[in-house]
Structure 1
Amino acid sequence: MRAAAALLAEQLSSAVHDQAVHVGRSTPAVRGSDWRLATVQTVNADGTITTTDGIPARRLDSYQGAKAGDQVVITVSGTGGWVCSGRLGSGTGGWVPYTPTFTASGGGAALGNGLMDAEYTLNGDECRLRISFVAGSSTTFGTGGLRWGLPFAAAALPHASMFWAGSAMCSDTGLAYYPGMCRISGGVTYLVGISATTAAGSTPTEWRSATPFTWATGDYASFGITYRIA
């Protein structure tokens, strides 16, 4: 009888041990580190993010362009420090749609009922960008150079004369096409279009309300550029 009781006690002890090992392997508080999914609530200036459930985590350098709403992977160390390794893939090839702002350096520009279609993709701190724009009947062009907003501010460059360059084209309601380039200067949040010549054949200049032609309903522009984000 005593032998049977001793055997039962040994089996029970073994079962409790096995269960404790199982719990330890599956419980972060016991194991000491873990990873999980989270949603970004705020992006902080010190290189951290805060999740919607209040966890502050440092960002890896590869996680550029962080924004609220990103679905991310966060990891906790055995000492309780959290690190965010980056956002999850969207399943759409990495291209993300966004709506650029439309402004003019002197003010007064507004998209109105015009159309804007744009998207970007990130590879580390490299941003590839496409913007398409069609003017509507209530679109206004203001004064000064026209500006189309970026999804992320550009990184600083060593000199004010340096910039990133890309391709651009605009059309005067299909009557004439003006190939050109677009430019992003260091530290700015917009790009500008530049034509080799205006309709009158004058000096190359940034696109404005009357260059390279007088913009009106149905006129359109397209841009493609790659730049480094801040």
Structure 2
Amino acid sequence: MSGASDLAAALRRNTLGAARADPKARGADWRTATVDTVGSDGTVTTTDGIVARRMETYLDATAGDLIVVGVSGAGSWLAWGRLGAGTSSTWTPYTPTFAAASGGAALGNALLDAEYALRGDQCTVRIGFVAGTTTAFGSGGLRWGLPFTAAALPSASMFWTGSAMCADAGSTYYPGVCRILPNTSYVVGISPITATGGTATEWRSITPFTWGSTDYASFGVTYKIA
């Protein structure tokens, strides 16, 4: 009798296991998964082999994303979106790159603090930067990296703008704007005035003043991501 009971128990376990593995048997379900690869057809493949179509709101999918996936009773998988970074805040911290258009820039011991908030394909970014004693500014326009590449626009002459401010050793302030060009992944600052009163251009190593230790910059901008 015990042998028959053991066999019956084993059969029940196998049947339950098969039902749990088969969405047609268990019905619709959801769980978390990690993205392995991102397809060009709007799908992602998870590290355990699930191919799921991304929801329209799941933008800029990246390998390593921890996401929620759902399956229908017919076995079709959907990738609902990326999970938060572990806090209740809608803001996610990130570390921007720091560069100059013609090279030579280096962050050194500068302080760089940034975060972004996503709402669909709308990304709002805040960046704060304080130069250090070993920061190098290179040549050409200074660039601070964005968390996501900006979307295309009908013309290369169009762009997104936001607010910006920089200060020369914290004593002289230069309010301005920041600009994000389409299909780029960085923001630049532009001030209407310079230390010498000349025509302003994008912030560079010598505009709107000669940058050095303790000089700082701040940006706030909302743009559409690719």
The more displaced of 160-169 and 37-46 is 37-46
Q: Residue 212 of structure 2: which of 207, 212, 216 is its match? A: 216
Amino acid at match of 1:70: D
- Which residue in 1 is equivalent to 2:57? 62
Q: What is the CA-CA distance between 1:79 and the residue it aligns to?
A: 4.0
Letter paired with 2:20: T
Match of 2:141 among 142, 145, 150: 145
Q: Which residue is equivalent to 2:77?
A: 82
1:138-163 CA-to-partner distances (Å, cap 9, x unmatched) read: 11111110000000000001111111
What is residue 163 of structure 1 aligned with on the other side?
159
2:70 and 2:78 in contact (8 A); partners too:
yes
Quote the Cα distance in structure 1 between the aligned partners of 2:84 and 2:219.
Answer: 25
Match for residue 31 of structure 2?
36
Alpha-carbon offset, residue 55 of structure 1: 1.5
Q: CA deviation at 1:28?
A: 5.4
- The match for 2:44 among 41, 49, 53 is 49
Deviation of 1:204 after TM superposition, in Å, equals 2.4
Structure 2 partner of 1:200: 196
Task: Say yes or no: does 1:95 pair with 2:91.
Answer: yes
Shift of 1:220: 0.6
Provide Cα deviations, 1:41-61, integer angstroms capped at 9, x if missing partner. Answer: 333333222212122211011
CA distance in 1, matches of 2:34, 2:222: 28
Deviation, 1:32, is: 4.6
* Contact 2:200 2:207 (C-alpha < 8 Å) held by counterparts: no
TM-score for the superposition, normalised by structure 2: 0.86
1:87 Cα deviation after fit: 1.9
Counterpart code for 1:27: R
List gaps (5 residues or longer) in structure 2.
1-11
Write the distance in 1 (CA, Å) between the matches of 2:108 and 2:40.
Answer: 34
- Which residue in 1 is equivalent to 2:7? none
1:112 is matched with which residue? Answer: 108
- Separation (CA, whole Å) in 1 of partners of 2:44 and 2:108: 35
Aligned to 1:11: none
Amino acid of the structure 2 residue aligned with 1:155: A
- Partner letter of residue 55 of structure 1? I
Greater CA radius of gyration, 1 or 2? 1
Task: Show the counterpart of 2:6.
Answer: none
Q: Which residue is equivalent to 1:186? A: 182
Partners of 1:146 and 1:28 in 2: CA distance: 53
Which has the higher mean CA deviation after the structures are superposed, 184-193 or 47-56? 47-56
CA contact (8 A) 1:127 1:229 kept: yes
Give 3-state SS (helix, strand or coil) of 2:153's partner: coil
What is the count of residue pairs matched by the alignment?
Answer: 210
TM-score w.r.t. length of structure 1: 0.85
Q: Report deviation, 1:86.
A: 1.0
Task: Pick one of 66, 72, 82 that aligns with 1:71.
Answer: 66
How many Å separate the matches in 2 of 1:192 and 1:43?
A: 30
